[in-house]
Amino acid sequence: MKSNLIFAIITVFLFACSEKEKGKPNENLSESKLDTINYSYSAMNMGFSLNLISNGRFSSEEYDFSCLGGGERTMVFGKYKKSSDGLKLFPERVEFIEYSEVMVPKPMKQVLNPRLDSLRYKTSYHVIEWNNHEYLLSEVYGGEAFPEWGIKKENDFIRFSEYYNSGFEPEEHGAYLVSMDQTYNSTYQELNLDQIPEQWQSYFLKEPISARILSIQKVTHPYVSSRFTWLVELDKGLESNVTDYLSFEDRFGNHLMNVTKVTKDRSYGYLFYSEIDPQKLPINLELRTKWQ
């Protein structure tokens, strides 16, 4: 009986998450696909979608839901101008819908004047083209559905560089707007870094960085002795273009490290999901930002 009850609770929880994911906004926002270009990004139960309509108007939708039932949507409507200088948005109307965790007949809806300072809404983007993808990247720090991930100060160019340097792009994308061409092109082309504004080009590696582990130390959680991770010291630092926005891994993907501190010739970070024999520490193991 007890096992059946636990199974039922787990089923309801997973169903709620699944339903919220299905309940993502209609990315077409009732506009014709023929007249609309959609840019979007998403994670579990949250994301952002921007539609540029051929009549010069735009509509966007940010959503953020809880698996327990609550959530909100923020929709913005207005005009846009897209040129060789980039994309400019001119918001005119904001609609906000709040969904209560408690079942109610109707969610709360408000129509507001654009208050961009409170929304932290981005209105200026650079247009980057690469491998049948078109990226809208903003220099503004923070984001819509993802205001700040962790304690690092990031913008779209920094997040894009992380996925680029690790080799995830152009197959996998992060929290920045992407639109994919309907025409399939199997020929891989290198990203033209001249499209990136000069002040952000240093974040993009021209070649992968290779480093070796100099030391590794077990770090135990201060309150839970059974929880621990591994602090790693690498033999490369600022002189080798290492930044605290890079990640390294070994050839087989068994050890993944995010850099958290960098000095002139050293860098430090923690290994994730690594099973390490304390008697056989992987000293001198080669890690790279990307393996070809």
Listed ranges 60-74, 113-127, 174-188, 239-253; the one with the highest mean pLDDT: 239-253
Q: Which of 71-80, 180-189, 190-199 has the weakest average pLDDT?
A: 180-189
Domain boundary among 173, 203, 233: 203
Are both 216 and 196 inside the same structural domain? no
Q: Is residue 127 part of a domain?
A: yes
Q: Is residue 1 part of a domain?
A: no
Query: Which is more confident, 278 or 158?
Result: 158
Q: Is residue 11 part of a domain?
A: no
Predicted local distance difference test score (pLDDT) of residue 153: 78
Are both 87 and 24 inside the same structural domain? yes
Predicted local distance difference test score (pLDDT) of residue 104: 59
Q: What is the pLDDT of residues 107-137, one digit of tens each?
A: 566 555 656 556 678 999 999 999 889 999 9
Predicted local distance difference test score (pLDDT) of residue 71: 82
Query: Which is more confident, 139 or 186?
Result: 139
List the CATH number of the domain containing 224. Answer: 2.40.37.10
Are both 42 and 82 inside the same structural domain? yes
**Domain total of the chain:** 2
Q: What share of the chain has pLDDT > 70, as a percent?
A: 75
Q: Is residue 14 part of a domain?
A: no
Are both 148 and 71 inside the same structural domain? yes
Predicted confidence band of residue 176 (pLDDT cuts 50, 70, 90)? very high
Are both 185 and 226 inside the same structural domain? no
Are both 222 and 164 inside the same structural domain? no
Are both 237 and 192 inside the same structural domain? no
Q: What is the pLDDT of residues 132-152, one digit of tens each?
A: 899 999 999 864 434 444 456
Q: What is the pLDDT of residues 41-71, one digit of tens each?
A: 987 788 999 999 999 999 999 988 877 777 8
What span, in angstroms and rounded, lies between the C-alpha atoms of 268 and 229?
13
CB 24 within 8 A of CB 42: yes
Domain that holds residue 278: 210-288
Domain boundary among 140, 174, 203: 203
Are both 115 and 242 inside the same structural domain? no
